[in-house]
Amino acid sequence: MNTRYIFLLIISAAAAAAFLPGSAHGQDRAKSLPPNRDDRPSSGVLGILQHGNYECALPGDAGDVAFAVVAEEGFRIGTASSYVNAQGNGIYLMRGDEVLFTRGPKKDQRFQRIGDNTLQKLNADGTLGKLICTRLGSTF
């Protein structure tokens, strides 16, 4: 393209931006903010989980086994806030004592950290669920 045409296009675009109604002057910052989601951790210092394999189980009963391992819920925490399980790998976010899996097969699952090596799954309404995941040991 000829330099003269490029210059005319730039001048035309600047003039149009200067004289168009207010909505074209710029981005509405209020509309560009992400929606307020109640399912993300809202407070606390960012942190990471202990690296290693986490085995998840449901409570048993007094007449049988003390707990029932749920193998498909287990995962391994690695470096850079990553995890891996049988279905694939992903990323998690830990703020305060709440863990939110943000990518991968466990996406949108939330856990409450109840000890250095223990997580308890949160229900959709934010109450504690029955599933408990415990770190078995370090793999790194």
pLDDT at 84: 97
Instruction: Indicate yes or no: pTM above 0.85.
Output: no
Amino acid at 96: G
Residues 6+ apart with CB under 8 A from 90: 82, 83, 84, 101, 102, 103, 104, 105, 106, 107
46-137 placed in CATH 3.40.50 = no
C-beta of residue 130 within 8 angstroms of C-beta of residue 140: no
Residue 42 binned pLDDT confidence (cut-offs 50, 70, 90): low
Q: What pLDDT, in 10s, does the model give residues 81-105?
A: 999 999 999 999 999 999 999 999 9
Amino acid at 91: I
Q: What pLDDT, in 10s, does the model give residues 49-79?
A: 999 999 999 998 888 888 999 999 999 999 9
Higher pLDDT, 16 or 28: 16
pLDDT at 41: 53
Judged by DSSP in three states, 133 sits in: strand
Domain boundaries of the chain, sorted by first residue = 3-32, 46-137
Mean pLDDT of 21-43: 56
